[in-house]
Amino acid sequence: MTYLKSIRRSVSVSALIALSMVPAAAYAGKHTMAVEAIAAAKGKIDAGDKVSAGRQAPELQAQARASLSSAQDLLAKGHKDEAISAARHAGEFADQAIVSAENSRTTAERERRHDAQDTAAVAIQSASDANVRASLAQQATADANASANDANKRAVMAQQATADATMSATEANRRLMVAQQATTDANARTDALRNTPPTPTTTTTTVAMVHDETAHTSAAPARRTIHRTVRHRAHSGRISKNTTTITTTHS
């Protein structure tokens, strides 16, 4: 019985010692928890700063900083439970700030992609329009060159026509001058004839004087007559013809 009583007494003392040590352990654990909560909240706030949470979600990041500062003050004053709660709130605000920053960044990135796509589409359309305008400009240039060539041809033809007209005009002028000269010469001859005294008229009269000369035969001496029949050609007498020209001038 005595032995049992002594055992019971030892157990009771150990239990009392254990019970007396629980608050100290609990106190030490809460302090560590508060320190760890504060450290975790500070890490989240630092992480938020790296992803520009202060610019993307400035209100949440400011609330996280304010809760972290409150947790540090509460822990310094020994209010471990309140410090842990404040540190947890600081972490929550920091998480929300990070998520908001990520969402804002994702939205901004999406908008940039959309803007880039729109810009690319506009650039492609602009390039297409520029190509169309370039094609139209090339066609217009080709048409202008063709028109210029036609204009040059027409100008050459006009120059040739002008040269031909000039040559024709020159020939016409030459003919006119020749005609004028002929007219002048004719007028001069007419004036000369008009001013020249009349030329005496000469009349030539030819008088033919004919002299007939009859041949006279001398009487032949008487001879014995022998009768023969002889046929003689008749001879006419010699005719002498003299021509006299008489010229009469009439003024």
Position 6 in a domain: no
**243 membership: H or E segment, kind and range:** strand 239-250
For residue 47, is it within any domain?
yes
pLDDT, the chain, mean: 75
Looking at the structure of the chain, the number of domains it has is: 1
| Assigned domain for 212 exists | no
pLDDT digits (tens, 9 = 90+) for 166-191: 788 788 888 888 888 988 888 888 87
- Residues 46, 47, 52: CA angle, nearest 5 degrees: 95
Does residue 99 form part of some domain? yes
Query: Tokens at residue 81, please?
Result: 């439970």
Give yes or no for residue 227 having a pLDDT over 60.
no
Provide the b/e sequence for 7-38 (b: ≥16 CB within 10 Å): eeeeeeeeeeeeeeeeeeeeeeebeebbbebb
Confidence of residue 96 (pLDDT cuts 50, 70, 90): very high
Q: How confident is the model at residue 73 (pLDDT cuts 50, 70, 90)?
A: very high
- Gap between the Cα atoms of 241 and 92, Å rounded: 179
Asked if the structure places residue 14 within a domain, the reply is no
Residue-range definition of the domain harbouring residue 71: 19-122
105 in any annotated domain: yes
Domain assignment present for 98? yes
pLDDT attached to residue 233: 54
Both structure tokens of 67: 């809760």
Using CB atoms within 10 A of its CB, is residue 166 exposed (0-12), middle (13-18) or buried (19+)? exposed
Is 157 part of any domain? Answer: no
**Residue 9: enclosing H or E segment and its boundaries?**
helix 2-50
Q: How many angstroms separate the CA atoms of 251 and 246, rounded?
A: 16
pLDDT number for residue 10: 40
